[in-house]
Amino acid sequence: MSDGSRVRLLLHLASRYQAGASLDELAPLFGCSARTLAARLREIGVTIRSPGRRGHDDSPDWRAHAEQMRNWAGRTNDPETRRIMLRIAAGYDKLADNIKESGSRQPDPPSDE
């Protein structure tokens, strides 16, 4: 791959990262580790998010967790386990609602890595 192609790919990956993609999912596209990709993105001025934080609305992720928990609750025969699972699902839904109400989560400030 030529240097120009590599720079264009890095800029494309930077755009996808800033739109919410993770380093782990983008690194294989650049042919390196997530750590190496983070270093390359920093070199071109991209702020790297702290692990586990994304710069976009992740309420759909929490709603999916809630739905999965409700599905599992529907399959269990134990009433206490079902009650606990449904309470967890309600907590995931509440978390998603709170994220929606407060707007999209913002990335953490730059770290001194």
Distances (CA, A) of 45 to 1, 49, 68, 92, 109: 23, 13, 38, 35, 14
pTM of the predicted model, to two decimals?
Answer: 0.45
Considering only the C-alpha atoms of the chain, give the largest distance between any 2 of them, rounded to a whole number of Å: 62
Say what the pLDDT of residue 35 is: 93
Asked if 13 and 37 count as a contact pair (C-beta separation under 8 A), the reply is: yes
In whole angstroms, what is the distance from residue 73 CA to residue 108 CA? Answer: 35
Query: Tens-digit pLDDT profile for the chain (113 aa)?
Result: 677 788 888 888 888 888 888 888 899 988 999 999 999 988 888 888 766 544 556 677 888 888 988 998 899 898 988 888 898 889 888 888 887 776 654 444 444 44
